[in-house]
Every structure is written in structure tokens, then in C-alpha cells.
Amino acid sequence: MAAAPCSHTLTLKTVVGKKRNVRVQASKESVEVDERIIAALGYLLPFLDGVQYGRFLFMQFPATQALLQPFLPLLGFYKTYPFASVVAFFTLYLVVVRNPNFSRYVRFNTMQAVVLDVLLIIPSLIEHTIPADGGIGYDVLVSFYNTVFLYLVACFVFGFSSCLLGKTPRLPLVADAADAQVF
């Protein structure tokens, strides 16, 4: 059951000195549980695509591998099929983001996940420019991978948990781009 929207009337003074009444209506409706789940599941795409950037972190801190245990069956299935990433990407974009039957909340969160997934192309391009034969190049590559992975995990945890709570997460580097794409 949705709560009744509350409304307020504001009086604004324009530049030329005229007063104008503006009615602002705010909805106190909560996001439905099914929409929360659909929005949260979208964040699995960049997480599953970017888990390889955690390999050095997992080698440095083996205990962190336990955090992946709940995702191993899904990760195994996802990595078994070579085009699973492409299919998941276009399914989320074409079936969810571009579908007006889904609420803006679901479409916005899914678009954030899609943009985050697209951003994973950048680390892939950069890693080929860093000589990782050893020495400083290897250290830079390890730091780079760890930074990308930790950013990705932070975005995944924040986005996934916020969606389950019915909040709208605004992820750094991707929220404005997602806003521009969702109508």
C-alpha cells in the first residue's frame, strides 16, 4: 500500500521581482521488493566481469577468497560460456534499461551497472601498456589491479545493498552517465 504523496506550496521571487507560487509534490512511496531485487541483480554483471582484477589481491591475502564462495557457482557458470558476458550485457541494456515497463529506479540502477561494466574496458586497455616483466612494472600492475578490483567491489556492495534497502545509489564515475541515458 502506497502512502499518500505530500505537497507543499513554495513562493519564489523571480529575477524581475514577481512572486510565483510553485507546487512541489513529493511521493513517500517505497520501492517494491521485486523492483529492489531486479535492480540489485544488475550489479552482478560488472562484478562477474571484473573479478579477474582481484587475482593479485587473492594471492596476497588468501583469506579474501572466502568472500567469493557464495558467488562461485554463478561465476563458474558465467565463465563457462564464452559469450555469457555479451548476452548478459545486451539483455540488461535492451530488455531492462530501454523498457519503459520497468520503473525508472530499476532502469537507472541497471544502467549504472551497464556503464560500470563498460568502464572495465579501460583497465583492460591500460594493462597492455604496463610492462609486467618484473620490477616496477609488475608492482604498478599489481597496484592497478587491486585498485580496480577494490573500486569494483565497493560499487557492487554499495549498489547491491542500497537497492535491496530501496535506496538509490549514485556510484562515482557512472551515476551522471546513467542519468543521461535513462528517460
Could you tell me the pTM of the whole model? 0.80
pLDDT value at position 10? 42
Q: Going by C-beta distance under 8 Å and a sequence separation of 6 or more, which residues neighbour residue 3?
A: 27, 28, 29, 30
Q: How large is the average pLDDT for residues 30-59? A: 95
pLDDT at 155: 97
For residue 12, pLDDT beyond 70: no
Average pLDDT on 73-92 reads 94
Is the pLDDT assigned to residue 6 strictly greater than 80?
Answer: no
* Amino acid 2: pLDDT: 41
Q: Is the pLDDT of residue 15 over 80?
A: no
pLDDT reported for residue 149: 96
SS3 content of the chain, % helix, strand, coil (to 5): 65, 10, 25
How far is CA 39 from each of CA 32, 66, 128, 135, rounded to the nearest angstrom? 11, 25, 33, 43
pLDDT at 91: 96
